[in-house]
Amino acid sequence: MAVSFTNAWKDSLKDGLVVALRSSFSPSVPVYFSKKTEMRGSQFISVKGDFSNSINSMQNLIDVNFSITLDYFMQDHKRNDTSLRKFFNQVSKIEENVYSLLDIEPLFDVEIESINFTDDEEFQGYRKASFDINVNNAR
């Protein structure tokens, strides 16, 4: 009997996350899945899969961990309180969408390990929020 292979990363996690973010923010904030970050407009989300590891311990369950980096960029030339509030409002919406993955795929345990904020010259006037996300899946 042939065993079918399911790519849990692509089928459930990556596609679920990108679809959830696109449906929530589209068309105002485009969502890209890429390994290299390119500045693409006034605001955008870039999703990167960092690594995954599987613990095969000869049991019925195989524990799989996925590490994801989600970067949100917003161009901010004004640098005032209104633009800062808009930035943090979008960051909280993204965080809410990431945690809503539990509703999309109940087999995944989603945890945002940290959110780092960067406002630096190297980003050409962009504010950046970087989410370090850890996802556990037991199959």
Question: Is the pLDDT assigned to residue 89 strictly greater than 90?
Answer: yes
Contact (CB, 8 A) for 44 and 73: yes
Interval 82-101 mean pLDDT: 88
Quick: pLDDT tens for 1-31: 444 445 556 666 777 777 778 888 777 888 8
Quick: pLDDT tens for 31-65: 888 776 667 778 888 888 766 655 555 555 556 77
3-class DSSP string for 23-71: HHHCCCCCEEECCCCCCCCCEEEEEEEEEEEEECCCCCCCEEEEEEEEE
The reported pLDDT for the residue numbered 131 is: 92
**pTM of the entire predicted model:** 0.78
Q: How far apart are CA 108 and CA 61, in angstroms?
A: 14
CATH topology of domain 8-138: STM4215-like (3.30.2000)
Contact (CB, 8 A) for 109 and 136: yes
Which carries the bigger pLDDT value, residue 40 or residue 81? 81
Specify the amino acid at residue 31: V
Question: Is the pLDDT assigned to residue 80 strictly greater than 50?
Answer: yes
β-bridge partners, 114 = 132
Report the share of the chain in percent with pLDDT over 90.
Answer: 16
